[in-house]
């Protein structure tokens, strides 16, 4: 079925249990063919529930979703043949070796490793030296590479990656995103979720999600540009006391801890020297104030506050 979009989600809703906890709250978004689209949000935001509905493993309560023009409810059999899904939690068979896992996934989809090897080659060569090791005995980064190979071996048109880098070391995370870029170049549409805000900038477009609701959809660059105020990073010898003091300062609009700095925005203009004098009077030393560009995380915090 031909459609301009690889993924079309319209007012999708899911509640759980007697309490009717709303996990996915009328979510809508569209992903273009060949796009690398990110669902960015903290734990419990509803990302996994959305993935499970889009991969036909969970029935939506309301709304519709289509993958490559196929409906996730009516055409689930067709969708299962053409998508790749890497769930957040371990999806491999721990007692099978690397090679056995891969062969198993290829066989289930009626293909062979050789047929689509070109798709996984970059990733597979990194774990091939351990091909006889059981999956249960692999490191986090190796498991994640094998899971990606298994999700790719039948050449899916759309790839769903639910928190693929959670619990993975920074070097493997970087490598993983480089692999995603290469897959995108092969015209595979990718929906990826992550709680790591720094990974958001690596997507073509992102949806920021919290409590089952999408707060904003845009390119990461546009989100950063839309940040309305000049942001400052402020540091002193004691972080907790610094934040307390800043929050009392009349011109401070927003103030929160951000790594080793406090990120601060002001109502109108502010005087650097006046603020330093005030902070010193509050007992703080080693004060540093500098303007900084906002990040996606700053934008997200701003949306949550509004
Ligand atoms: N089977 C279930 N029964 C009851 N509540 C559930 C179930 N699955 C998810 N939830 C709840 O729905 C909300 C959304 O969960 P979901 O797993 O979709 O979010 P998430 O963004 O993927 O977070 P995480 O990374 O923690 O899995 C959470 O409050 C969660 O506790």
- Ligand 1 neighbourhood includes 84 CB (under 6 angstroms): no
pLDDT tens sequence across 77-129: 999 999 999 987 778 899 999 999 999 999 999 999 999 998 899 889 989 99
43 C-alpha to center of ligand 1: Å?
Answer: 8
Residue 303, token pair as written in the block: 């949306």
| Torsion over CA: 4, 10, 16, 22 (sign) | positive
**Average per-residue pLDDT for the chain:** 93
84 C-alpha to center of ligand 1: Å?
Answer: 21
What is the spatial distance between Cα 151 and Cα 208, in angstroms, rounded to a whole number?
A: 25
Residue nearest (by alpha carbon) to ligand 1 atom 16: 46
* Count of C-beta atoms within a 10 Å radius of residue 270: 18
pLDDT at 2: 64
Name the band, by pLDDT with cuts 50, 70 and 90, for residue 230.
very high
Pocket test for ligand 1, best of 46, 60, 212 (most atoms within 8 A of CB): 46
Residue 291, token pair as written in the block: 């303007």
pLDDT tens sequence across 149-194: 999 999 999 999 999 988 788 888 888 888 888 888 888 999 999 8
Matching residue, tokens 């990194």: 126
Pocket test for ligand 1, best of 13, 15, 21 (most atoms within 8 A of CB): 21
| Numbers of helices and strands, H then E, in the chain | 11, 14
160 alpha carbon, distance to own chain's centre? 11
In sequence order, which ranges of the chain are alpha helices (DSSP H)?
47-54, 76-82, 98-108, 117-127, 140-152, 170-184, 197-200, 220-225, 239-248, 272-281, 296-305
% of the chain with per-residue pLDDT over 90:
76
pLDDT of 306 above 90: no
Name the band, by pLDDT with cuts 50, 70 and 90, for residue 275.
very high
pLDDT of 3 above 80: no
Matching residue, tokens 């029935």: 59
- Greatest CA separation for the chain: 73
Contacts of 182 (CB under 8 A, 6+ apart): 122
ipTM summary value: 0.93
What is the spatial distance between Cα 271 and Cα 273, in angstroms, rounded to a whole number?
A: 6
Q: Higher-confidence residue: 62 or 185?
A: 62
pLDDT of 1 above 80: no
Name the band, by pLDDT with cuts 50, 70 and 90, for residue 51.
very high
- Ligand 1 neighbourhood includes 164 CB (under 6 angstroms): no
What order of strands is seen across the sheet that includes strand 288-292? 252-258, 261-266, 231-235, 288-292
Residue 266, token pair as written in the block: 């002001």
What is the spatial distance between Cα 281 and Cα 288, in angstroms, rounded to a whole number?
A: 15
Apex CA 250: angle with CA 247 and CA 256, to 5°?
A: 25
How much is the average pLDDT of 197-213?
Answer: 94
Least confident of 31-35, 58-62, 174-178: 174-178
Least confident of 259-263, 273-277, 291-295, 302-306: 302-306
pLDDT of 20 above 90: no
Residue 146, token pair as written in the block: 């094998």
% of the chain with per-residue pLDDT over 70:
99
Matching residue, tokens 């995108």: 184
* Count of C-beta atoms within a 10 Å radius of residue 163: 21
What is the spatial distance between Cα 69 and Cα 281, in angstroms, rounded to a whole number?
A: 64
Q: What is residue 50's three-state secondary structure?
A: helix
CA-to-CA separations, 265 to 133, 177, 245, 249, 298, in angstroms, rounded = 52, 32, 14, 11, 11
What is the spatial distance between Cα 233 and Cα 261, in angstroms, rounded to a whole number?
A: 6
21 C-alpha to center of ligand 1: Å?
Answer: 10
pLDDT at 206: 97
What is the spatial distance between Cα 168 and Cα 66, in angstroms, rounded to a whole number?
A: 31
């Amino acid at each position: 079925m031909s459609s301009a979009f690889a993924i079309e989600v319209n007012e999708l809703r899911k509640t759980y249990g007697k309490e009717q906890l709303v996990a996915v709250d009328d979510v809508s978004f569209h992903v273009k063919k060949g796009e690398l689209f990110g669902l960015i949000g903290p734990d419990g935001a509803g990302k996994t529930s959305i993935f499970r509905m889009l991969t036909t493993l969970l029935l939506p309560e309301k709304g519709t979703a289509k993958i490559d023009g196929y409906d996730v409810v009516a055409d689930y059999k067709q969708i299962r043949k053409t998508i790749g899904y890497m769930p957040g939690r371990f999806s491999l068979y721990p007692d099978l070796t690397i090679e056995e896992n891969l062969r198993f996934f290829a066989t289930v989809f009626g293909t062979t490793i050789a047929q689509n090897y070109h798709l996984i080659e970059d990733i597979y060569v990194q774990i091939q030296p351990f091909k006889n090791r059981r999956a249960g005995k692999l490191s986090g980064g190796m498991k994640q590479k094998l899971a990606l190979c298994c999700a790719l071996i039948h050449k899916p048109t759309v790839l769903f990656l639910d928190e693929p880098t959670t619990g993975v070391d920074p070097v493997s995370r970087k490598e993983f995103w480089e692999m995603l870029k290469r897959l995108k170049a092969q015209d595979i549409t990718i929906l990826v979720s992550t709680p790591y805000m720094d990974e958001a900038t690596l997507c073509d477009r992102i949806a920021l999600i919290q409590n089952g609701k999408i707060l904003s959809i845009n390119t990461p660059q546009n989100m950063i540009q839309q940040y309305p105020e000049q942001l400052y990073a402020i540091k002193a010898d004691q972080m907790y006391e610094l934040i307390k003091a800043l929050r009392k300062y009349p011109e401070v609009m927003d103030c929160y801890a951000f790594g080793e700095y406090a990120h601060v925005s002001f109502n109108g203009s502010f005087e650097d020297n006046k603020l330093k004098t005030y902070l010193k009077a509050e007992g703080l030393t080693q004060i540093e104030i500098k303007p900084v560009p906002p990040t996606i995380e700053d934008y997200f915090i701003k949306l949550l506050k509004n």
